[in-house]
Chains A and B, each alone.
Chain A
């Protein structure tokens, strides 16, 4: 006991080292651990906002129907009624934010074949055609209305006028 007290200088030095170590640790922790880390789990809660802040590129059907109100009626009763607009028309977030920026009209030859080209792996009940034999892959909308394929061509008047 006596020699312990005699050599207490060493103990003080050790204690000082420990205190300095803890001090450095606390400072480093304050600097390096991101804000709020651990409040919701072992992650940075700000990452939730980081993931949520991006602007959608696809506007979503509700945004389309805000202006294109006639489309619901047009598609009524059709197999295509359940398809969202951007499945064929592509991403329209830019157009939805600024209606002045007009989208490109989808090419009826290409857009239909994305789904309706025959493939063995497709479900058996799904309507499929071989573009080589079926109308030679001609513009589908001459016979099928894209928004209501069970009906005939969509705008015969317009197509007549073009001819």
Chain B
């Protein structure tokens, strides 16, 4: 029965290993439990459900939103970095399938007149931003969990944890993400999360002179966005992809998708 014999050395080493393992596991478990975040005062993420509606029939393409967004969120000034931008659509006659689209510097400097009036064309501006999808492709592809849908319905990027792999930039069907060249991490519209948690409007909605961007809390039936969603015929972009966007458009043409 020499096999069953346990000498002191064996006992101590295996016992020691066991103790180390359990203490490490306990430490890890405690670490996981301790992570409940500190909430901003008076703001509860679970009480809100943010959304935006954009009224295309109102947008005048002034570019206030683009400029305010860059100022508010410290977006690089170069013309390839935008959290929000404005596009101009030009449809000649009934050529619905082939609109001419341009967005000089994202609409940052406004739009110079390019087409003539009275030529039977249909022209309009479409402001674009992150659609804050409930079922977001960018969140699904992130390998490290650096982008996520917050409990209050905003798709946020974790710049401190992002590894800059650019996978989400490719995954977003709306082209709403960019890599910040200064940090080599992703950046995107956060619906001005630092503003909405303080009870302010996102910068783009704050400066919109024609109230084309209506922002609010869908949990509050009296909020402007709830009223707009109840009263107007809205639709979101690229719904066929199943992304379930939370930015809704009124007066959105089919060719904009």
Question: Which positions in A face B, CB cutoff 8 Å?
Answer: 5, 8, 16, 19-20, 22-23, 26-27, 29-30, 33-58, 60-62, 82-84, 86-88, 91, 114-115, 117-123, 126
B125 an interface residue at 8 Å Cβ cutoff? yes
What is the CA–CA distance of A85 and B194 in the complex, to the nearest angstrom?
A: 20
For A52, the chain B residues whose CB sits under 8 A away are 40, 43, 193-194, 197
Q: Which of A19, A20, A39, A122 has the most CB of B within 10 A?
A: A122
Q: Which residues of A contact B71 (CB under 8 A)?
A: 57-58, 91
Taking a contact as CB atoms closer than 8 A, the residue among B34, B37, B208 that contacts A49 in the complex is: B37
Select the residue from A23, A38, A43 with max chain B CB neighbours within 10 A: A43
**Once bound together, how far apart are the Cα atoms of A51 and B192, in whole Å?**
8
20 sampled A-B residue pairs with Cβ under 8 A: A26-B24, A26-B28, A30-B27, A36-B34, A38-B32, A43-B158, A44-B160, A45-B37, A47-B156, A48-B193, A58-B206, A83-B209, A87-B209, A91-B68, A117-B110, A117-B113, A120-B116, A120-B121, A121-B90, A122-B61
Counting residue pairs across A and B whose Cβ atoms lie within 8 Å, the total is 177
Q: What is the size, in residues, of chain B's interface with A at 8 Å between Cβ atoms?
A: 72
With A30-B27, A35-B31, A58-B68 known, 7 other A-B pairs at CB within 8 A are A23-B21, A33-B32, A39-B37, A51-B193, A52-B197, A118-B113, A121-B115
Is the C-beta of B171 less than 8 angstroms from some C-beta in chain A? Answer: no
From residue 1 to 54 of chain B, which have CB atoms closer than 8 A to chain A?
3, 17, 20-21, 24-25, 27-28, 31-32, 34-38, 40, 43, 45
Cα separation A86 to B203 with both chains bound (whole Å): 9
